Structure 1
Amino acid sequence: MINKEQLEHLISDIEYLRYEAESLKTVIETVPYSEKPLGGESILESLMTINLSQCKVIEILNEMNSKGTKVDVDNYSIFQKEVLEEEQLQDIKVLDLLDEIINNRITLVDYLAKKPFSFYKLDIKNNSDDVSLYQLLKELVHKERNILKEVASLVLTYQKDRQFQREISAKKRV
C-alpha cells in the first residue's frame, strides 16, 4: 500500500531525470557520446532508451485516460534497449535528444502531478500480472537510475582518459 509521501517522493524522483539531462548538456559534447564501449551501449543509445521508455509511459497514461485500466503494458515494450548502427548514431544530435528528454519529462511530471492519489493505485496488466501504476513508475525510475549510472561512469572514464592524454602530450613537449 502506498501513501501520499511515497507518491510525492516518486514524482520527485521522476522529475530528477530532467535535471540530470540538463546537467549532461554541459559536458556531453566533450565526450565521444556515440562511441560504443566494448560490449556495451553508447551514451547516445542509453539516452535514447530513457527517452523511448518515458514516451511509452506517456502513451500508456494517455491510453488509460481513454480505456481505463484495460491497458496491457506488454504491448509497449517499455524497457526495450535502443540499439543502433554506427551510421545511425552519427545522424542523431545529442543536444536535441537531451532537449527532447527534458521536454518529455516536464510533460510527464505535469501530467502525474495533476492526477489524484487514487490514480496511482489503479492496476494495469504487465506480463499477465496486475501491477499498479505506482509500481510501473517505480520500475521506470529504477531502470533510469541504472542507465544514468552507466552514462555517468562512461562520461567520467572519457574525461579521465582525455586528461591522461593531455598529461602525456604535455610531458612529451617538455
Structure 2
Amino acid sequence: MNTTEQFSRITDDIAYLVDEAEALTLVIDVVPATEKSSGITSILDMIYLIDHAQLTYFRPLVEQLFSLPKVQASLPDFRTTADFSSIQHESTEAVLKNLIRNRKSFVAYLQAAGQDCIEKAGEINGQTRTIADVLQEMIVFERQQLKLVAERVLAIDRSNQNKGKPQQ
C-alpha cells in the first residue's frame, strides 16, 4: 500500500469515530450511561476514555512527531491518567459532543499536515514508531472501546426487555 492509500485509509478510519459518536447520541438517552455494576466501567467512562486518550496521548504525540526534528518521549499509559471524576456531573451528550468536536479538529489537523506526515518517526517509550503506527494504535483502541460500549448497550437493552416479559 502506498503512502496516499495508507493516509486515506487511516484518516477515513479516524473520521469514522465521528459517525459512531453521532450514532450513539441517538440511543444514549435510553440507556443508563453512568451506571456501573460488578466492576464494569460505565458507558460514560468508556466514551470519556476515548476522548481523553485522543487529547492527552495520541494527538500530542502525533503533533510532536510531526513538528519536532527528533522526538524521544516516555509517556504514561493514558488509561492510568484518566480522571473519571471530572465528568461525573456532565451529561453523556456533552461528553459525546466534546469527543465529536475534538475528533473533527484532529482530522482537520491531519489533513492539513498531509499524507507524508504519517511516515515521520520518533522514539516512544523506547521504540521507534511512525505517526502511522501511533494512529493505528489509536484506531485499534477506539474500536475496542466502541465494541465494549455496543456490548454494554445491548446488554442493558436485553435486560430491560427481559424485565418486561412475564415469568413462565
TM-score scaled by structure 1? 0.84
1:44-94 deviations in Å (ceiling 9; x for gaps) = 11111100111122223444455344251x336345474646xx6641211
Distance 2:92 2:109 in 1: 26
Q: In 2, are the aligned partners of 1:124 and 1:132 still within 8 Å (CA)?
A: yes
Q: CA RMSD in A?
A: 2.3
Q: How does 1:7-26 map to 2 (within 5 A)?
A: 7-26=7-26
Asked whether 1:42 is paired with 2:37, we answer no
Structure 1 residue 129: Cα displacement: 1.0
Query: Percent of aligned pairs with the same residue?
Result: 27
Count residues with an aligned counterpart. Answer: 166
Between stretches 137-146 and 50-59, larger displacement belongs to 50-59
Match of 2:59 in 1: 58
Look up the equivalent residue of 1:159 and give its one-letter code: D
Q: How does 1:1-174 map to 2 (within 5 A)?
A: 3-56=3-56, 57-64=58-65, 66-72=67-73, 74-75=74-75, 77-80=77-80, 82=82, 84=84, 90-168=88-166
For residues 7 and 78 of structure 1, do their structure 2 counterparts lie closer, same or farther at Cα, with a shift above 3 Å needed? farther
Q: In 2, are the aligned partners of 1:69 and 1:124 still within 8 Å (CA)?
A: yes
Runs of 4+ in structure 1 deviating by more than 3 angstroms, as ranges, are 61-66, 76-85
Q: In 2, are the aligned partners of 1:121 and 1:133 still within 8 Å (CA)?
A: yes
For residues 135 and 61 of structure 1, do their structure 2 counterparts lie closer, same or farther at Cα, with a shift above 3 Å needed? closer
1:80-133 deviations in Å (ceiling 9; x for gaps) = 474646xx6641211000000000010011111122322111112222111001
Distance 2:80 2:153 in 1: 23
Unaligned runs of 5+ in 1: none
Unaligned runs of 5+ in 2: none
TM-score scaled by structure 2? 0.87
